[in-house]
Chains A and B, each alone.
Chain A
Amino acid sequence: MKYRDKIIEAMEFIGKQPDTLFLGNGLLNGYRIYGTMDKVELNRCSEMPVAENLKMGVAIGIALCKFVPVVIFPRMDFMLIASDQIINHLCLMPKMSGEQFKLPVIIRCIVGSQYMKFDVGHQHKKDFSSLFDPYMKVVRLEKDSDIVAEYKKAYESSEPTMLVEYKDLYTSE
């Protein structure tokens, strides 16, 4: 389970930085995003209402106050509801302002399993990441070896980054 272990390591790294906050659903109890948040302190996690657009907008506001929010979408399908905040606001606001401010927001999203012996369903396994390519940096985490380095780069960047994980790789050896 190397892929998931690397994500656990990346989340632990981000959770230890002084200015980070995780926003999402299922962060405080249960499986905590497929077990990947086990090494992140609960006080770094903000459980949000199930309102994706609100969740993304709140992250932008937090970034305006010099924090680095990590917004988690355990199923990318639901992230489309937040696409107005991602494209019209997160990506465009710094440009429209004449670059007066930066928004170093990290978006962590997961594409559902394509495995057909147990089909997770039409609305739980789409990869919409290419919709966002024209507007922001999108990093597809296809190799275990990239995961920690890419999350570190996203944390150190002053620009927003979307990191795409693949649920099928969680169970790969």
Chain B
Amino acid sequence: MKSETNPFLKNWSPDKLIEFEENLVKLFEEGKINAPLHLCGGNERELIDIFRYIEPKDWVFSTHRSHYHYLLKGGDPQKLIDEILGLPTGCCKGVGRSMHIYDTSINFYTSAIIAGVCPIACGVARAIQNSYKKEEAPHVYCFVGDGAEDEGHYAESIRFAESRHLPITFILEDNNLSIDSTKDMRWKEYKPITSEYVIRYNYNRRYPHCGIGKHVEMVGVL
């Protein structure tokens, strides 16, 4: 078993992560976040367990719902809040907002296209495989929701990773909902894709797919 190697975990507990999102709910209610907001919630313990083994040199790819991943990878909380508010002091100078979080200083990338990050994460793993000795190589972690499992390019990426023995792990975060459609609604008789390159965990989401569940008038926006 790999030893715990994430120095940023000491900053976070499930309660602190929940508190971070509750602060965003408050800012949204005040009408200060005039862009889509995809809140995390319900998966704090599972993510802390997974991030225990993610090192600073490793790469993390995530989705439109990436606040927890960014914080647990070592992202600066203030830069994340500023980004969500669209301020120039945000980690993407305020142009990415909640859905598009990037930070090259911590090897953190996202895409809001379902399963869009999967082939890109494979490309990084492929380059790492070419450039490093195996024992020194960073590892790539690619987080996706259960909607990504519906996509062909998720399946292509897993087959590619398996066939080239790439240093990558896909983490399938299964809340049984793609927006509001369950897997059985989407597939009738759902069958998972299983692979040694995929870790799946199940959780129940705390917030709606987008926003905070009520209409808010935005302030200071033309």
Q: Is the CB of B124 within 8 A of A53?
A: no
Task: Given A61-B121, A88-B116, verify A49-B111 contact (CB < 8 Å).
Answer: no
Q: Is the CB of A97 within 8 A of B113?
A: no
- Within 8 Å of chain A (Cβ to Cβ): is B131? yes
Q: Is the CB of A64 within 8 A of B124?
A: yes
**Complex partner residue of A57 from B96, B127, B131, B153, CB under 8 angstroms:** B153
The residues of A that contact B56 with a CB separation of less than 8 Å are: none
Distance, CA A36 to CA B210, complexed state (A): 49
Q: How many A-B residue pairs have CB under 8 A?
A: 105
**Complex partner residue of A100 from B104, B113, B116, CB under 8 angstroms:** B104
Cβ < 8 Å to B, chain A residues 76-133: 84-85, 88-89, 93, 95-101
Distance, CA A138 to CA B128, complexed state (A): 30
Chain B: how many interface residues by the 8 Å CB criterion? Answer: 34
**Complex partner residue of A59 from B121, B123, B131, B152, CB under 8 angstroms:** B123
Q: Is the CB of B156 within 8 A of A54?
A: yes
- Within 8 Å of chain A (Cβ to Cβ): is B93? yes
Task: Given A51-B156, A98-B94, A98-B96, verify A64-B120 contact (CB < 8 Å).
Answer: yes
Kindly provide the distance from the CB of A107 to the nearest chain B CB, expressed in whole angstroms.
14
Q: Is the CB of A100 within 8 A of B102?
A: yes
- Within 8 Å of chain A (Cβ to Cβ): is B103? yes
- Within 8 Å of chain A (Cβ to Cβ): is B160? yes
**Complex partner residue of B126 from A56, A58, A101, CB under 8 angstroms:** A58
- Within 8 Å of chain B (Cβ to Cβ): is A147? no
Kindly provide the distance from the CB of A51 to the nearest chain B CB, expressed in whole angstroms.
4
Q: Is the CB of A97 within 8 A of B160?
A: no
- Within 8 Å of chain A (Cβ to Cβ): is B119? yes
Q: Is the CB of B120 within 8 A of A60?
A: yes
For this complex, 26 residue pairs linking A to B, each with C-beta atoms less than 8 Å apart, are: A49-B156, A53-B119, A54-B119, A56-B119, A57-B157, A58-B120, A60-B123, A61-B119, A61-B123, A61-B126, A61-B127, A64-B124, A64-B127, A65-B124, A84-B116, A88-B113, A93-B102, A93-B111, A95-B95, A96-B92, A96-B96, A97-B104, A98-B96, A100-B92, A100-B104, A101-B104
Given contacts A58-B126, A61-B119, A100-B102, 4 further A-B contacts (CB under 8 A): A57-B123, A65-B123, A96-B100, A98-B90
Interface residues of B (CB under 8 A from A): 90-96, 100, 102-104, 109, 111, 113, 116, 118-128, 131, 152-153, 156-157, 159-160, 163
Interface residues of A (CB under 8 A from B): 49, 51, 53-65, 67, 69, 84-85, 88-89, 93, 95-101
